[in-house]
Amino acid sequence: MTIQNVLSTSSITKKYGSFTAVDGMSIDVPAGSVFGVLGPNGSGKTTFLGMILGIIKPTTGSFSWFSGSNTYPKGSVGGILEEPNLMPQMNALNHLKMTAHIKGSDENACMDILKRVGLDHVAKKKAGAFSLGMRQRLAIASALIGNPKVLVLDEPLNGLDPNGIREVRDLIKQLASDGVTVIISSHILDEIEKVCTHLAIFKEGHLVDTQTLNDSDSGDTTRLQIQSEDDNLLGTIRNWPFTNSAEQVEAFLHVEIQSPASASTLNNYLHQQGITLSHLVPLRDGVERIFLEKTK
């Protein structure tokens, strides 16, 4: 089955004089994915996101939304770039009304969206009186107006306290489960790992790698982390015909098994051999390890 891309960039480049901020990046963002954009400071993340959102003009190259042109249909993309763009003298509700007018959406839905991000009690308060976390949530609320198909969030966790981070993370997961594609950049690797299904790693304006973080399943193999009190675990696992590799990593055993075997068939097999597992979790490459390896 072909996965439809919501965004495709083709050799997109941005130069400022002799400095190349983004150099010939070609990226496809699959529909329904949570697409993480990672990179150290100055790697071109914000410039890249600015170009796909239409506010930074590419020097060369092109991009297309929904297999169309460089511009997207009104209301189908919501975005935040760098800090929240708010008028300090304008209240929260009017900010959302303004966005509703731009997107041609129903103004009456604004209060519901404020409620969704937990700002309904300050709807009439000026944005200038908000904390950074509240500003960030208001900007996300603004981006959510019109039920966009894609949400582009540049460092949306900046300035949020742990509760705020959890709320935004849950919101992203909820949006993804609703079928919204999320393109997110963040330097909080742990958070990226918790929400992303795909990764693009930038370094000095170049795309150095793209990864699919599809849990532990990468095509024909599945990686698992298991633990048992039984001393025969390692030997039993190695004798199983679907086992590709098994190695002891501290208190756990990391196992790679071959399709059609799965975590449940492994568990059944070990149960039949009289071994009870006390720990069985899918294993995926840590984003931090991937990031450090690719950007060193």
Partner 1 sequence: MRHAISIEWLKLKSHPIYFLIIGITMLLFILIAVQLKNFTVGSMTGDEINQTIGSLGLYNNGVILQTLSYIAGYFKYIVVISFMLYAALDYRHKMHRKQIMEGWSRNASYFSKYIWIVAFILLQTIILYILGGALSIEGSKSWSDYALFPIAWAVEFAVLMSIGMLLMHLTKRAGISMIILLLYSIIAEPIIAYKAGALKTVLPLVQSRALIEAPFQKYIDMFRGEAYVFAGVPTSAFLISLVFTALFVGIGWWRFQKADL
Binding site for partner 1 (CB under 8 A): 50, 53-57, 71-81, 85-91, 94, 97-99, 101-104, 126, 142-143, 145, 152
Rounded CA separation 269/228 (Å): 14
Task: Give the closest residue to 210 by CA, choosing from 28, 24, 12, 57.
Answer: 28
Between 9 and 228, CB nearer to partner 1: 9
CA angle 276, 223, 191 (to 5 degrees): 110
Between 122 and 280, CB nearer to partner 1: 122
Between 84 and 284, CB nearer to partner 1: 84
Between 22 and 261, CB nearer to partner 1: 22
- 3-class secondary structure, 256: strand
Nearest approach in angstroms of CB 185 to partner 1 is 15
Nearest approach in angstroms of CB 12 to partner 1 is 14
Nearest approach in angstroms of CB 40 to partner 1 is 22
Between 57 and 296, CB nearer to partner 1: 57
**Within 13 A of 224's CA, how many CA atoms are on the CB side?**
23
- Enumerate residues 6+ apart whose C-beta is below 8 A from 92: 114, 119, 122, 123, 124, 125, 127, 130, 138, 141
- 3-class secondary structure, 272: helix
Between 102 and 281, CB nearer to partner 1: 102
Q: For the chain, give the number of residues.
A: 296
User: What six digits make up the tokens of 228?
Assistant: 């048992």
Nearest approach in angstroms of CB 17 to partner 1 is 13
Q: Where are the beta strands (DSSP E) in 117-250?
A: 150-154, 181-185, 198-203, 206-212, 217-218, 221-228, 243-249
Nearest approach in angstroms of CB 78 to partner 1 is 7
Query: Is the distance from CB of 226 to CB of 252 less than 8 angstroms?
Result: yes
Question: How many CB atoms within 10 Å of residue 156?
Answer: 28
Nearest approach in angstroms of CB 67 to partner 1 is 18
Nearest approach in angstroms of CB 201 to partner 1 is 24
Nearest approach in angstroms of CB 136 to partner 1 is 14
Between 152 and 196, CB nearer to partner 1: 152
Between 91 and 228, CB nearer to partner 1: 91
CA angle 211, 178, 188 (to 5 degrees): 45
